[in-house]
Structure 1
Amino acid sequence: MHTPDPLTPDAADRVRVAVVGTGNIARFHVEALRSMPEDVEIVAAADVDPDNLERFTDRYGIADRYGDMDRMLREARPDLVHLCTPPGLHHGQAMACLSAGATALVEKPPALSLAELEDMAAAEGAQGPWVATLFQHRFGSGARRVRALVESGELGRPLVAVCHTHWFRDQAYFDAPWRGRWDTEGGGPTMGHGIHQMDLLLALLGDWTEVSAIARRQARTMETEDLSLGHVAFANGAVACFVNSVLSPREESYIRIDFERATVELRHLYGYGDNDWTLTPAPGYEEQARSAWAAGESGVSSGHSAQIAHVVAALRAKEPPPVTSAESLRTMRLLAGVYASAAQHRTVTPDELRRGAPFHSRMHEGGSPW
């Protein structure tokens, strides 16, 4: 076991961090953490694959490596654990972290079902530890600027929105043992790909009130859908259409919101910067809209670093880190609504997705619904 140097300046103030799962996504987490050495100390990494673990820890200079997460929690005593593992493992691993007194930052989707995520939320302490979901697109300055304009009313009411995730994944991608299966991934592109854009839409427009959707397995061989689309209504009166696809050779992530005084658009693929956002004022509001837009936050891309910096700052302040379990549940409830609507061929509301209801404990009921 590696013991931190007690003479290291401010070592006691740093957040002790561990990483579980050392695949490709974990490198984004570690590189973000390494950009803030005065705030964090990476104390350990764990993976059941010893070769991956060795390569990863050697590359990033992480001294303590574990093949067993429970042992790591006991011995390394992290404050924060980044769960970079397949979705089917998130519930059990997050619960183990909370039991050990460590906050869990979970890659998307945070769980396989609403029931699992509610269990995780119930296990949080009032003063921590907590569960946070990695929804980094909320934290780029463009999204934060739009959210501020929504809250201030500078652009008027949001009226109509579009939320498209057009990505491409071939059959080989879904031939991985855990992908495209209800019991290990929880769903198809609705859960594993479009979830980022759907979460960002909710972060910008707030609570949803009803959803109507269809889902299909158009081209890939797997249990889950490879396409979903539909429309969702919001408590503020806005309505949006959405597409979640892994069948699209020309890939694009796209959000458009038409406000009373301007249209705001975001075009990107897997992450955005300020230049990926555009504002088109309505006639008569050119000066007002452009002035409000120019005065907003800028300079932060939507990568992992943007959110992880907020997570670390919150833990150092002993506050719940973003994105909280309550916010993650709102997004997961919308995804469950998409699956419920597609399977039942009807409109679904959030209140229908409470504990004990169909689609609460899993994102499908019975056999494949399509």
Structure 2
Amino acid sequence: MLKVAVIGAGAISGAHIEGYLRFPERCRIVAICDIYPNKAQQRIEQYGLNARAIGDYKELLQEDVDLVSICTPPYTHETLATELLEAGTHVIVEKPMASSLEECDRMIEAQRRTGKRLSAVAQNRFKTPMMKLKAVLDSGLMGKIGHVQVDSFWWRGHCYYDLWWRGTWEKEGGGPTLNHAVHHIDALLWMMGSPTEVQAFMSNVAHDNAEVEDISIGMLRFANGSLGQVTSSVVHHGEEQQLIFQGEKARVSVPWKVKASNSTSNGFPEPNEELENRLQALYDGLPEVEHEGHAGQIDNMLTAIETGAPLLIDGANGRQTLELITAIYKSASTGELVKLPLGNEDAFYTRSGVQAKATHFYEKKTSLDNFTTQTITTGSSYTDRS
């Protein structure tokens, strides 16, 4: 029975708690930690946990805790993760993995040095439509992928950035490119690998209480000549999200949709129903994911600890995602075409470098210590419309 703690009792902590509670025979939550201990106690009471509420995470370093979920602001992730790993604890860290590539590298080095497990949250890999799409792409039935379109469309009100750590390059590390599109960018990299070049633009069109962007557009070139585009936004009403892959022979997407074409004698398209039916049959025949979202990632971590099996998402995956996001920020701030990979000599490699070089749109005007606990929305990007 693994002993588990959660650091950070904000909105996303509920997904972690509920995930652990799916496996009562394998793990038990023994502590919830938050700089506001009353918030930790509220979570304990909400879920009926037999756990302690603590205000200082350092108490966990002295205790026999096997696994910790870090659900705190991005700028704290590296310190917490490295100290916990050094104390002999496995770590799941919420997205984004950290607020700089330098911090990611320190976390990965601590993981290698200690031999403990480190997983960066990318829970949408563990959703049935996403798993099925990955398998369809891997089948090769579509031919070479020529273009990928990622729409990470979210909407947040002006007051969203009033929370003390949000909307600053120092503490949040960026806007929706980092903290919302991270899920879609992880999926893109999982399916396509990393691009070699990035050209990007960003702006702040609706949130003048934030330093960071509220919309960005990144254009990508891959080594094989394929192109891609990623739009990251918190100004899109409806929050309709999608990933579309255009292959030589067909297109598929999440939410699921399949279209395939043949060429007529003059080059115009006609439906290729035979290929559409093959792709649909492949998709329909793939299994459902047993544990979805955070529960799926927690199951993957528990299995890795119990059996030594590999993680689906490790520190290297988390870093790869942040590298592309950092490249988007660099290109959008400097106007440069950015080539990947980014080295440790790059001006955007460190958090201080990002703070100094990234475009500051506005000064933060409001800083609230806390919001009242409310339900958060997670978008509609993975609804299966088949």
Task: Determine if the TM-score, normalized by the shorter chain, exceeds 0.5.
Answer: yes
Alpha-carbon shift at residue 62 of structure 1 (Å): 3.0
What amino acid maps onto 1:293 in structure 2? Answer: Y
- 1:305-337 CA distance string (max 9 Å, x none): 122111111111134533111111111110010
Aligned match of 1:9: none
- 1:68-113 CA distance string (max 9 Å, x none): 11112312x2111000111111111111111111111011111110
1:16 aligns with 2:7: no
Cα distance in 1 for partners of 2:207, 2:301 equals 37
Alpha-carbon shift at residue 217 of structure 1 (Å): 1.6
Q: Which of the numbers 266, 276, 279 marks the counterpart of 2:254? A: 266
Q: 1:183 to 1:325 in 2, by over 3 A?
A: same
Give the stretch that moved more between structures: 233-242 or 62-71. 233-242
Alpha-carbon shift at residue 369 of structure 1 (Å): 5.5
- 1:210-246 CA distance string (max 9 Å, x none): 1110011222121111110021122344311111111
Instruction: Note the 1:130-141 alignment, pairs <5 A.
Output: 130-141=117-128
Alpha-carbon shift at residue 265 of structure 1 (Å): 1.7
Cα distance in 2 for partners of 1:368, 1:332 equals 18
Q: Which of the numbers 130, 137, 140 marks the counterpart of 1:153? A: 140
Cα distance in 2 for partners of 1:20, 1:140 equals 25
Aligned match of 1:204: 191
Alpha-carbon shift at residue 165 of structure 1 (Å): 1.2
1:358 aligns with 2:347: yes
Cα distance in 2 for partners of 1:126, 1:45 equals 27
Match of 2:287, SS state, is coil
Instruction: Note the 1:143-182 alignment, pairs <5 A.
Output: 143-182=130-169
Structure 1: give runs of 5+ residues left out of the alignment.
1-13, 268-276
Aligned match of 1:333: 323
Cα distance in 1 for partners of 2:72, 2:118 equals 15
Cα distance in 2 for partners of 1:143, 1:137 equals 7
Alpha-carbon shift at residue 59 of structure 1 (Å): 2.3
- 1:127-180 CA distance string (max 9 Å, x none): 721321110111212222222232331222211111011111111110111101
1:368 aligns with 2:368: no
Cα distance in 1 for partners of 2:206, 2:199 equals 22
Higher relative contact order (CA 8 A, sep 6+): 2
Aligned match of 1:83: 70
Cα distance in 1 for partners of 2:309, 2:138 equals 23
Match of 2:167, SS state, is coil
Cα distance in 2 for partners of 1:100, 1:249 equals 44
Cα distance in 2 for partners of 1:237, 1:347 equals 16
Match of 1:251, SS state, is coil
Q: 1:367 to 1:150 in 2, by over 3 A?
A: closer
Identity of paired residues, percent? 32
Q: Verify the 8 A CA contact 1:262 1:289 in the aligned structure 2.
A: no
CA RMSD of aligned residues (A): 1.9
- 1:335-357 CA distance string (max 9 Å, x none): 01001111121211113x21121
Give the stretch that moved more between structures: 295-304 or 154-163. 295-304
Aligned match of 2:374: none
Aligned match of 2:101: 114
Alpha-carbon shift at residue 199 of structure 1 (Å): 1.1
Q: 1:232 to 1:29 in 2, by over 3 A?
A: same
Cα distance in 1 for partners of 2:246, 2:238 equals 24
Q: Verify the 8 A CA contact 1:339 1:364 in the aligned structure 2.
A: no
Structure 2: give runs of 5+ residues left out of the alignment.
262-270, 362-386
Match of 2:311, SS state, is coil
Instruction: Note the 1:1-370 alignment, pairs <5 A.
Output: 14-60=1-47, 61-75=49-63, 77-125=64-112, 128-221=115-208, 222-267=210-255, 277-282=256-261, 283-284=271-272, 285-299=275-289, 302-351=292-341, 353-362=342-351, 363-366=354-357, 368=359
Alpha-carbon shift at residue 37 of structure 1 (Å): 1.0
Cα distance in 1 for partners of 2:6, 2:311 equals 17
What amino acid maps onto 1:354 in structure 2? Answer: G
What amino acid maps onto 1:317 in structure 2? Answer: T
